[in-house]
Structure 1
Amino acid sequence: MISDLELLKVLLDNTNNAIKSAYLLFAPKDQIQSLDNYYRIAVTENRIQELSTPKHTVFLIDPSAETICEAEDSYIYNTVIKSANANYSGIGYVDFYNESGSYIEWTVSAPYEGTAILNFRYVNGSTDNRPMEIEVNGNVLGILDFNTTGDWTTLKSQTITADLNKGTNTIRVTSKATDGSPNIDYLGITMVRSTPYIYGDLNGDKLVNSIDFALLKIYLLGYSKEFPYEYGIKSADLNRNGEVDSIDFAILRSFLLGIIKAIPVGAT
């Protein structure tokens, strides 16, 4: 346990006494276990440029309950971790600077591919709605207005649904205003359903058999431009590389012959 650590260490330039870099620690000292828990802030020309955690958490999503992903344990850019206002969870919340482009990015691991509810717990004590861009795995889902909560201690939720991949996903919320953003306490993630299709089922009959094999062959030969099922393209992508090709044909053949036991490739 570190007991005598200063909460603020500023490195001064010996020539002009200007701040060149700083390290800020926002967690209470009795919660600090190691240097890996420090939050770092870079200061250039007396202006804060970036704040991030040296090691951010990969959150494992519970398939049966909401998973709480604290904002202070994520990767953060041009933001600051604070604990001045009450009612936050964890050790604090993330406060955005008045600058468009500041963001929080969570890295999460989903137990399966499917749809999730993203619940952003926030506070906005200003009188204005504050827009934030929501991005999942590099794809922008849209802009959400984080409405006023009346003060800086009353928390509310803003939600959006998103499709998550099995395994690692990134979820980013980015400020789109220059006059302030909401304070973010945490991101809650609830898986609501698994993939709405069965890999290899190209006609939607819930079976994977020789009919699907024939449909895939016809598609690859160019006799058909689509499958008789709205999820046909996705369910035919058996190696999940974004394309339907001869490799998927070989995988389906091997599955039907019993050479491989599960599809898509990598499933258990």
Structure 2
Amino acid sequence: PKVTGLLLIVLVVLLFVLLLTVSSVSAYDGVCPTDCKGVMGPPGEPGLPGPVGSRGLKGTNGMPGDKGMKGDMGDMGAMGDEGMMGPAGETGPKGEKGHMGDMGRLGPPGPCMPSIQSAFSAVLTKSFPEPNAPVVFSHTLYNYQWHYDDTNGIYTAPVNGTYVFSYHLTIYDRILKVGIFHNYSPVVKTTGTSMLGTVSHTVILHLIRGDKVWIQVKDTLTNGMYIRQTIKHLQPFMRKRHREEDYDD
């Protein structure tokens, strides 16, 4: 029975092949094809993707593109490190004088300073001195600090302070108009109307260091300043005492 079944299967297969052959021959209208290829069947289903290929060669650079439009301003970045100091610039024009500032606070007391003394005493050695100019008391009785110049008759203040000046003069032959001058400005004036007599005056001045003081006769007609050899204790002289107030420059 097994052999009979196998034979039956073989016969069925052969019959199927024969039917296919007959159908092929009928498709060519009895003309045998030139090759043994059969008729193209319908397209099959898409296959699975193939493996990735190897990397290709580097391409050449393309042509430059057109310049794009200006973009928006970005966010401000963090402050950078401080740079090195640049070279000094040229000096600018002088500015206008500013307003006086407020007075500062009172400073602490300064150190004690030694007292500065200044004094002189001098007498006239020639009658009727030159008018409209400092009278030169050329013979000094005391001038230890040399603040009085016996060559031009001018006293120069060494420091800021309060000074006392006095003079005693003899009058003869004419009236006398004389005064003390401070930096070319008259401070006090004395007029002696007697043809023989004396005049005296004392004045207190506040001077700044470098200020100058002298005695001056008005003119020739009123220059009765005279020296009497027999009354030497009345000879003209100029004496100065100083009471120091400060040492400002």
TM-score category, normalised to shorter length? 0.3 to 0.5
Structure index of larger Rg: 2
Structure richer in strand, relative to its length: 1
Q: What is the TM-score of this pair, normalised by structure 1?
A: 0.32
TM-score if structure 2 supplies the norm length? 0.35
